[in-house]
A and B are shown apart, each in its own frame.
Chain A
Amino acid sequence: MKIQVLGTGCAKCGELTTRTEAALKQLNLEVTVEKVSDIREIMAFGVMSTPALVVDGKVCFAGRVPNVDELAKIIAS
């Protein structure tokens, strides 16, 4: 499993990284969260609003920071 957080480095992106890590802990998954901050790489995902979460190359959502429970649900599915 590969998890990436797309964001240019604002407060919300940091928050999403923290919450994603918490959600992974909740699911007992040992996966490191990769941060993607290069704007061209972000654009390559077709994302226009940051932060966004990418699981195994698929964009799950963009432009918001869900809570830990919702994140766990998203990652699990």
Chain B
Amino acid sequence: MKLRRWFVLLPLLVVWFFIYRFLKPFSEWLTFSVLPLDPATRLGQAVAFFVYDTPKVLMLLVLVVFGVGLIRTFFTPERTRRTLAGKRETVGNVMAALLGVVTPFCSCSAVPLFLGFVEAGVPLGVTFSFLISAPMVNEVALVLLFGLFGWKVAGLYLATGLAIAIGAGWVLGRLRLEKHLEPWVLETRQGAVAAEDERLNWNDRLDRAQQAVREIVGKVWLYVIAGIAVGAGIHGYVPDGLMAGIMGKQAWWSVPAAVLVGVPMYSNAAGIIPVVQALLEKGAALGTVLAFMMAVIGLSLPEMVILRRVLKMPLILAFVGVVAFGILAVGYLFNLVF
């Protein structure tokens, strides 16, 4: 390990915290003294929101993607599969959902991963727990939720996302749906030449984490800024309580409607969360909004199309149905509690 690297990274981290700490006063100074806008006007409110939120969310994103990138170098799909192979269902569902959060996964690998898991004797329900949690509980979503709404909403999202992955996987396991796998799935035998685990030192891990930052932040920053701009506009200009009638607590049908609208929509977390923020601020109920977000991020049409190659239609429908039911339950629960 190159020691020099830590001497660069640690001061960078200190500088990060220092800047983060003073973002709020700096953004207010910039908006109200330099520009100079009146805090009482709509334009002033919108600009202050944008000037504060953009650097804040981008800074959080860089830090967390780096951290998660580092953690992910300790997990590979192969290792996760080995861990899950001998597990019984209930314990297996919990572990699969947790591992789904930290194991590097891209939905285009859903099929080989599915085959690899089933092949190694990971129960079907446990495999589903992993496949549900991996896209739904994602680090970009968590950062944005934390940055825009605070740790409570972020924590709720994490906990309920895991609960749905565990519960839905368990139920799907009970349903005994093995007969609805495409017949060739069980005949596929995996080659014995499975990739060996790479040996990584800390230098490699830091390289990987930096690469993750470049890749992910490079991909989503535009969505984040666009989303915050929309959020800023709504923050400043849309009257309070506008959404309350449509997506408020008293509208019982709004939760299923949010899920129905959300499933066919496909967006990454970065694009959807600023919209969610705008909805919440103008009176939409937390449970309804949470359900909408989970339906958009967690259940996506493209992934279903990919999985159709290994799952027959009844199994796909059962998968979507059980997960959607879980999301509905979460939506109603939160509207009831908060």
A43 touching B192 in the complex, CB below 8 Å, given contacts A48-B78, A48-B112, A63-B76: no
Interface string of B305-328 (1 = CB under 8 A from A): 010010000000000000000000
B284 to chain A, nearest CB (A): 34
- Chain A residues 1 to 48 lying within 8 A of chain B, measured CB to CB, are 7-13, 39-40, 42-48
Q: Mark B73-97, 1 if CB is under 8 A from A, else 0.
A: 0001110010000000000000000
Chain B residue at minimum C-beta to C-beta distance from A45: B191
Which residues does chain A contribute within 8 Å of B306, judged by CB atoms?
8
B104 at the interface (CB under 8 A from A): yes
Known: A8-B108, A39-B111, A44-B191. A63 touches B77 (CB 8 A): yes
Q: Are B191 and A50 in contact (CB under 8 A)?
A: no
Is A48 in contact with B108, judged by CB distance below 8 angstroms?
A: no
Is the pair A46, B195 in contact by a Cβ cutoff of 8 Å? yes
How many Å from the CB of B66 to the closest CB on chain A?
A: 16
Once bound together, how far apart are the Cα atoms of A63 and B106, in whole Å?
8
In the A-B complex, list the 5 residue pairs whose CB atoms are closest, starting with the nearest.
A46-B194, A10-B108, A48-B116, A59-B195, A44-B191
Smallest beta-carbon distance A36→chain B, Å = 12
For residue B221, give the distance in angstroms from its CB to the closest CB of chain A. Answer: 18
Q: How large is the interface on A (under 10, 10 to 19, 20 to 34, 35 or more residues)?
A: 20 to 34
CB distance from B77 to the nearest CB of A (A): 5
Select from chain A the residue with minimum beta-carbon distance to B195. A59
B211 interfacial by beta-carbon distance below 8 Å: yes
Q: Which residues of A contact B78 (CB under 8 A)?
A: 48
Does B62 belong to the interface (CB within 8 Å)?
Answer: no
Among B109, B196, B198, B208, the residue within 8 A (CB) of A48 is B109
Whether B112 contacts A42 by the Cβ 8 Å rule is: yes
What B residues does A7 contact at CB under 8 A? 108
Q: Are B113 and A48 in contact (CB under 8 A)?
A: yes
Q: Decide if B106 touches A49 in the complex (CB within 8 Å).
A: yes
Q: B115 near A: Cβ within 8 Å? A: yes
Set B112, B184, B196, B211: member contacting A49, Cβ < 8 A? B112
Q: Which residues on the B side are within 8 Å of A43 (C-beta)? A: 112, 115-116, 119, 188, 190-191
20 contacts between A and B (CB under 8 A): A8-B108, A8-B111, A8-B306, A10-B106, A43-B188, A44-B191, A46-B194, A47-B112, A48-B78, A48-B113, A48-B115, A49-B77, A49-B113, A52-B195, A58-B193, A61-B195, A61-B198, A63-B76, A63-B77, A63-B106
Q: Which residues of the other chain, A, contact B111 by a CB distance below 8 angstroms?
A: 8, 39
Contact of A50 among B109, B188, B208 (CB under 8 A): B109
Contact yes or no, A48 B77, CB < 8 A: yes
B105 beta carbon closer than 8 Å to chain A: yes
In the complex, the chain B residue whose C-beta lies closest to that of A65 is: B215
Cβ-defined contact, A39 with B112, below 8 A: yes
The answer for the CA separation of A57 and B193 in the assembled complex, in Å, is 9
Name the distance in Å between A71's Cβ and chain B's nearest Cβ: 13
B93-125 vs A, CB cutoff 8 Å, 1 = contact: the mask equals 000000000001110110111011101000000
Shortest CB–CB separation between residue A6 and chain B, in angstroms?
A: 9
Residues of chain A with a CB closer than 8 A to B188's CB: 40, 43
CA distance A39 to B191 in the complex (A): 12
With a cutoff of 8 Å between Cβ atoms, the chain A residues found around residue B190 in the complex are 43-44, 46
Whether B192 lies near A12 (C-beta < 8 A) is no
In the complex, residue of chain A having the shortest beta-carbon distance to the beta carbon of B116: A48
CA distance A62 to B191 in the complex (A): 15
Contacting residues, chain A, for B77 (C-beta < 8 A): 48-49, 62-63
Take A42-B112, A62-B195 as given contacts and tell me if A67 and B211 are in contact as well, using a CB distance cutoff of 8 Å: yes
